[in-house]
Structure 1
Amino acid sequence: MISQITVFLENSKGRLLALTRCLGDAGVDMHALTIAETSDYGLVRIIADNTDAALKALDEHGFRATRTHVTAIEVPNRPGGLADLLEVLEEMNLNIEYGYCFSSKGGVAVDVLKIRGDAKAAEAGFKLEGAGFKLLKQEDL
C-alpha cells in the first residue's frame, strides 16, 4: 500500500495554484494528481514523493489534508489491462471506492485503487501478485 494525500480545496480561482506552489516550495514532487469537484469544493488526490513533508507544508499553509492508504498496481498498458485487474478483484468480491490511472514507462500503467477495508486490500495484494500483477510501494513510483 502507498500513501495518498487528499486535500479539501475551496472551488475558487487560484486555490489549485496555491496548493501546487505550496508543495513545490516545500520540495515535494507530485507523481499523480486527480481532482473530483462539487460546486463548492474539490477533492484533490495526490501521490507525492514525500507524503510527510507534503502534509506538513499543507498544514502550515492552512490546507485541510489527510493521508489515505491506497493500493498501487502495475498493469500492462494495453486494451483490457484494467479489466483484467478488476476481474481478479471481482472474484474476491472486493469493493472499489474510487481509482485513477496513469501511464508509466516501459509499456505499463499504474492503477491506484482505494479498496474498501485495509485488511481486504492487504489480502487482495497476495492474490494480485499470484495473478501476475505487481504491487507497488511508495519508493517504486
Structure 2
Amino acid sequence: MKVTQISSFIENRPGRLHAACEALAAKGVNIHTLMLADTSEFGILRLIVADPAAGKAALEAAGYIAKLTDVVAVEIPDDAGGLAGILAKADAASLNIEYMYAFSTAVGKRAIVIIRFSDADRAVNELQQRGVNVVAPVELLQA
C-alpha cells in the first residue's frame, strides 16, 4: 500500500509557490498535505493530492517539472514517542529513509507520517510484519 506523491522543482522567488498551487486549483486538484524544502536557488515541493496524475499534468502544463514517486504513509500515535516507535521498527528492519514529513489528523490522537524509503515495497512489508498500520491511499484521503 504505497501512496503516490508529486515532487516538483520550484524557483525560490516570490509568487512561484502561489502559481503552482493556483495551477492545481484551476484543474480541481485538491492538496491533502505538502512539504517544501528550499535552497537559495530552488525548492522541492512534495505533495499528496487527490489525483496525482492530474496534479502532475497541471503542474507540467504550468511550466513546472513534476515527477511521481512512491512513498509510504504510516499511522502513529500523536504523542511523545510516537515517531520514535515507528523509527525503531524501521531501524530493526534496516530500512533506509530518504526523507519524511507528517501531519496530524486528530491532535493528540493520530498522526500520519509520509516516508520516502529507498525500497517502498520492502518497507511496506517489513512495517506491516512489525504491526505498523500502513495507510492505504484511500484511507489517507479520508483522514
Other-structure match for 1:97: 98
Within-5 A mapping of 1:74-85: 74-85=75-86
Asked if the contact 1:49–1:138 (Cα under 8 Å) also holds between the matched residues in 2, the reply is no
Other-structure match for 1:136: 135
Other-structure match for 1:114: 116
Question: 2:29 is paired with a residue of what secondary structure?
Answer: coil
Could you tell me which amino acid in structure 2 is paired with residue 115 of structure 1?
Answer: F
Asked if the contact 1:100–1:113 (Cα under 8 Å) also holds between the matched residues in 2, the reply is yes
Q: Note closer, same or farther for the CA distance 1:119–1:140 as it changes in structure 2 (3 Å cut).
A: closer
Asked if the contact 2:72–2:120 (Cα under 8 Å) also holds between the matched residues in 1, the reply is no
For 2:98 and 2:72, the matched residues in 1 are separated by 12
Give aligned pairs, total: 138
- Offset, 1:86: 0.5
Asked if the contact 1:49–1:139 (Cα under 8 Å) also holds between the matched residues in 2, the reply is no
How many percent of aligned residue pairs carry the same amino acid?
33
Asked if the contact 2:124–2:134 (Cα under 8 Å) also holds between the matched residues in 1, the reply is no
- Offset, 1:8: 0.4
Unmatched runs of 5 consecutive residues or more in structure 1: none
- Offset, 1:105: 2.5
Question: 1:17 is paired with a residue of what secondary structure?
Answer: helix
Per-residue deviation, residues 1-57 of structure 1 (Å, max 9, x unmatched):
100100000111100000000111111111111111111000000000110110111
For 1:2 and 1:96, the matched residues in 2 are separated by 15
Question: 1:135 is paired with a residue of what secondary structure?
Answer: coil
Asked if the contact 2:10–2:16 (Cα under 8 Å) also holds between the matched residues in 1, the reply is yes
Is 1:50 aligned to residue 44 of structure 2?
no
Other-structure match for 1:36: 37
